[in-house]
């Protein structure tokens, strides 16, 4: 009986592992899933909501776009 439980637990673990491997996102958290990711140390995504990992919860404005395009610059855009 213990051997059957051990085998069932092993099968359950294997199925869970395969499910997690299949659903794993190989990209970075800030990048969209279809955004190319290279091995460069400076990971910078393109500007705009289509390049974001999570879509914006509200309407994307011109100020949002200007701020996104200016990052990581030290000076804020003039649309504020």
Q: What is the DSSP string of the chain?
A: -HHHHHHHHHHHHHHHHHHHHHH---S-TTB-TTS---S-SS--PPSSGGGBSS--SSPPPHHHHHHHHHTT-SSPPTT-
11-68 residue pLDDT tens: 999 999 998 887 766 666 677 777 766 666 667 778 888 888 888 899 999 988 888 8
Distance CA 43, CA 31 (A): 9
Distance CA 32, CA 51 (A): 5
């Amino acid at each position: 009986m213990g051997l059957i439980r051990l085998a069932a637990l092993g099968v359950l673990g294997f199925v869970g592992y395969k499910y997690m491997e299949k659903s794993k996102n190989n990209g970075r958290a800030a990048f969209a899933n279809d955004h190319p990711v290279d091995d460069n140390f400076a990971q910078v995504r393109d500007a705009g909501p289509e390049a974001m990992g999570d879509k914006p919860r509200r309407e994307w404005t011109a100020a949002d776009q200007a701020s996104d395009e200016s990052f990581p610059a030290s000076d804020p855009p003039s649309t504020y």
